[in-house]
Amino acid sequence: MSDANPVLAPWQQRVHDHAAVALDAGKLGHAQLFCGPVHMGKHAVALQLARRLMCTQPVAGGAPCSKCRGCELMVAGTHPDFMDISFIPTRDGSKLRTEIVIEQIRALSEQLTLTPQFGGAQVAIIDPADMINHAASNALLKTLEEPVPGRHLWLVSARPEKLSATIRSRCQRLEFRLPPRDEARAWLQAQGHPQKAADEALDAARGHPGLADAWLHDGGIALRREVAADLAKLARGDLGAVEAAQRWTAGDDTAMRLRHAADLAVAEAASLTAPARMRKLAAWFDAANRTRELLQTTVRADLAVAELLLAWRG
C-alpha cells in the first residue's frame, strides 16, 4: 500500500491544506520553514506536498495520482528533482553524522541550478534544519538569497530558534500546533490505543498526540511509571540514590529517564501551593536537565545521576 497517499492526522492535514492552496495558486514562497514539536509529522507533510508538486496527472483537488512516473519515482525515493537531505554516514561509514555538512548543501545548490529532469518543480527538504553546521549554514543562505521560480527549499525543524536569524528571515513559517484534546484523543484511539492508556499517555506528553503515540509504542509510558515509582521510593528513603543511579544508567535510556523525571518534578510543582517546595522542584528540574546534557560528555553518568537523585531526597 506504499503507493497510496498517506492518511494525515487532522493537525497535519490543516498545515498541508493551507500550504497546498498556496502551492496550487503558485503563491507559496520559495523557502518554507516547517516548525513545531518533534513527532508532529512535519516531514510527512513536507513529503506529501512534494509528491503533489511532482505528480504530472493530479486527481481532483490536486492530490497526487499515485500512478504517473513522477509519483512512482517519489514513492521509490528516486525522483531526480527531489532531494531529501538529512544526516549522511561518516567518512568511514560506521555511523551517521550528527550535523548536516557543507558538501550536502553544495550538492543541493548545484542541483537547483540544473534544469529539472521532469521539466516541473524541484524540491529539497532539509531535516533537521537546525543541525546544519556553521559552514553549511552560510552556503545555504546564498541559495536562499537567490530564489528561482519552481525551486522549493523546505526546512524542517523542531527548534527553529537554533537556526540563524538571517536564515529564518528568508523563510515563511508553516507552524504545527498541538491539537485540541478531543482531537488528540480521537486520533490516538484511531491508532488502536485503548482510551485509558491513551489518556494517561496524553497527560504525560502534555497533550502531544504524536509523542503519546510514540511512548505507547516504545515503552516510554512504562518507563515513566518506573521513574515515578523510583522517585517516590527515593523520597521515602526506601531506595538509595546510588542504587537507583546504577539502575538508571545501566541501559541506553538514561536521557529518557531524566527527561521523565524532570517532567514529573514540574507536574508535582504544578500541584503544590507551598512556595519553598515549588522553588526546590524548579531547581531540581534545572539540575535534571543539566545532568541530561552532561550525559553527552565524558562525565561518569552513574555519578552525575547519583548526585541528582541525592538532591531529590534532600
Minimum distance from residue 56 beta carbon to Zn ion (Å): 6
Contacts of 305 (CB under 8 A, 6+ apart): 244, 245, 248, 249, 254, 258, 291
Minimum distance from residue 229 beta carbon to Zn ion (Å): 52
Q: Which is nearer to Zn ion, 75 or 102 (CB)?
A: 75
Which of 60, 184, 70 is CA-nearest to residue 123?
A: 70
Nearest-Å Rg of the Cα atoms of the chain is 23
Q: Give how many residues touch Zn ion by CB under 5 A.
A: 5
Q: Facing residues of 33 across strands?
A: 155, 173
Q: Which is nearer to Zn ion, 56 or 86 (CB)?
A: 56
Q: Which is nearer to Zn ion, 68 or 102 (CB)?
A: 68
* 60-80: burial string, b at 16+ Cβ within 10 Å, e else: eeeebebebebbebbeeeebe
Minimum distance from residue 22 beta carbon to Zn ion (Å): 20
Under 8 Å between Cβ of 124 and 112: yes
Looking at residues 71 to 130 of the shown chain, list those that interact with Zn ion (rule: CB under 5 A). 71
Minimum distance from residue 115 beta carbon to Zn ion (Å): 21
Minimum distance from residue 270 beta carbon to Zn ion (Å): 50
Q: Which is nearer to Zn ion, 81 or 130 (CB)?
A: 81
Under 8 Å between Cβ of 123 and 154: yes
The Cα–Cα gap between 9 and 105 comes to 31
E-assigned strands of the chain? Answer: 31-35, 82-85, 122-126, 151-157, 172-175
- In this structure, the number of other CB atoms found within 10 A of the CB of residue 203 comes to 12
Looking at residues 193 to 252 of the shown chain, list those that interact with Zn ion (rule: CB under 5 A). none
Minimum distance from residue 13 beta carbon to Zn ion (Å): 20
Q: Which is nearer to Zn ion, 64 or 116 (CB)?
A: 64
Q: What distances in angstroms separate CA 107 from CA 63, 73, 111, 112, 114, one per listed residue?
A: 29, 20, 6, 9, 11
Looking at residues 42 to 71 of the shown chain, list those that interact with Zn ion (rule: CB under 5 A). 55, 64-65, 68, 71
Which of 83, 64, 82 is CA-nearest to residue 120?
A: 82
Q: Which is nearer to Zn ion, 3 or 103 (CB)?
A: 3
Q: What are phi and psi of 156, to 5 degrees?
A: -115, 130
Q: Which is nearer to Zn ion, 123 or 140 (CB)?
A: 123
Minimum distance from residue 53 beta carbon to Zn ion (Å): 10
Interacting residue ranges for Zn ion, rule: CB under 5 A:
55, 64-65, 68, 71
